[in-house]
Amino acid sequence: MQRLNSHLHAEKKPPYVINLDPAVMKVPFGPNIDIRDSVNYKKVMEDYNLGPNGAIMTSLNLFATKIDQVLSLVEKRAPQVEHVIIDTPGQIECFIWSASGAIITDALASAFPTVIAYIVDTPRTTSPATFMSNMLYACSILYKTKLPMIVVFNKTDVQDAEFAKEWMSDFEVFQQVLREREEDETTEGSGYMSSLINSMSLMLEEFYKHLDVVGVSALTGAGFDDFLAAVDNKVEEYNRDYKTEREQVMKQREEEAKERKAKDLTRLMKDIGIKDEKDPKKDIQEEVISDHEDDDETSGFIEQDEFAPSREHTFTDRQGEVNDETDAGIQARYQEALKESSGNREEALRKLLQQANRG
C-alpha cells in the first residue's frame, strides 16, 4: 500500500486512500478515510469479550453501517482522483467471508469499477504445495467476490516470480516439478499430496486464464507500472463483462429485500392488530411500505482538502474524514439503535404507516 501510494504520487496521480484494518497500530501512508477514526479496536475487544479476529469482524460490522457515507465521500472526490486504493485486514477470512466484507465490497463494486489484488509472498511460494494453497485461496476469493482479480507476486527483489508465472501458464512444467519433488520422500510432494496437487493443477488451468499476473517489489518499486497497466485492463474487463451482471444481481437483491421487508411488516402489523388508517377495513398491503433514508448523507464525516493528510496514524491521533469528535460515534449509534429497538414498537409501526400513507 505504501509503495503503491508513493508511486502514484510520483506519477502526479495522488490516490484516495482508505484503511479498513482496525487492528493496525501504525500505517506508513496517509489514509483519507481510516476505520480506526470511528471504531476503537481494543475497546471492541474489551466491551464484547472478543478475540483478535472476532474484534476485527465486529469493527468491520460497525463500520459497514455507514458505508453509504463512505461512498458519498468517494463519489465527491471521484472527479479529482483516478485511483481509490483500499487496504483490507491482513486476516483475509475476516473480510472476505464476513457479512460486512460482502456489504463493503458489493457497495463499492456497485458504484465504481472494482478490482481485487491478491498479494502473494513470492519467496514463500516456491514450494508446489504452498503455491497451490495460494491459488486455491485466490480462486475462492474470486468465486466469493465475483470481481476481476489480479494476482500480485510481491518481493521479487528476493525471489523472481517467473517460476510461478510458468507454473500457471504450463501445467506440464508444474507436474514435472512435482515429480522431481516426489523423488525426495522428505518433502510434501510425495504420496497422496502429490497426486492431489497434480489433480488440482489441471482443475485450475481454466482459472489461470482469467487472471492477470504481475510481479512487483514493494521495497524497490519494480513492477508497479505493470500492476497499474493490469488494473486498467481489469477495469475494461469490469465494464465489459462484470458491470451488467452485477447490476442485475443488485437489482434482484433490492427487489427481494423490498418484498421481504413488506411481507415481514405486513405480518407483524396483522399480528398486533394495526389497520390501514385510510381504510380501517383494509389489510395492510405491501405496496404502501417504503424505505426512508436519512437526508444527512455525511453525518460524522470530516472532509479533508489534501489527499495525503500529514499525521501520525496511531490510536491516539484522529483527524481523518471519519471522526468521532463531531458525532456520537458508530459504536454509540449502534448501542442507541439497539436501545430504541426495544422501545414501543407499535408506536414506531404506526409512524411508519403514516409516512407510507402520506407517500
Please count the residues of the chain. 359
Compute how many other C-beta atoms are within 10 angstroms of the C-beta atom of residue 19: 24
Note the Cα 265 to chain centre separation in Å.
31
Domain termination site, one of 238, 268, 298 = 268
pLDDT range class, residue 189, cuts 50, 70, 90: very low
31 and 126 share one domain: no
163 and 59 share one domain: no
Residues whose CB is less than 8 angstroms from the CB of residue 343 and which lie 6 or more positions away in sequence, other chains included: none
Decide if 53 contacts 284 (C-beta within 8 A).
no
Given this model, what pLDDT does residue 167 score?
A: 92
Could you read off the pLDDT of 109-134 as tens digits, one per residue?
Answer: 988 999 999 999 999 999 988 999 99
Strands 116-121 and 84-87, sheet pairing: unpaired
Given this model, what pLDDT does residue 273 score?
A: 65
Could you read off the pLDDT of 337-347 as tens digits, one per residue?
Answer: 556 555 555 56
Could you read off the pLDDT of 269-293 as tens digits, one per residue?
Answer: 777 766 555 555 544 343 333 333 3
Task: Give the range of the structural domain holding residue 65, as residue numbers without chain letter.
Answer: 13-83+94-109
The better pLDDT of the pair 297, 180 is held by 180
Could you read off the pLDDT of 64-105 as tens digits, one per residue?
Answer: 998 999 999 999 999 999 999 999 998 888 889 888 999 999
122 and 264 share one domain: yes
Domain presence at residue 194: yes
Compute how many other C-beta atoms are within 10 angstroms of the C-beta atom of residue 237: 17
- C-alpha cell read off for 158: 528476493
Domain termination site, one of 268, 284, 301 = 268
Q: Mean pLDDT, the chain, as a whole number? A: 79
Domain presence at residue 143: yes
Q: What is the pTM of this model?
A: 0.69
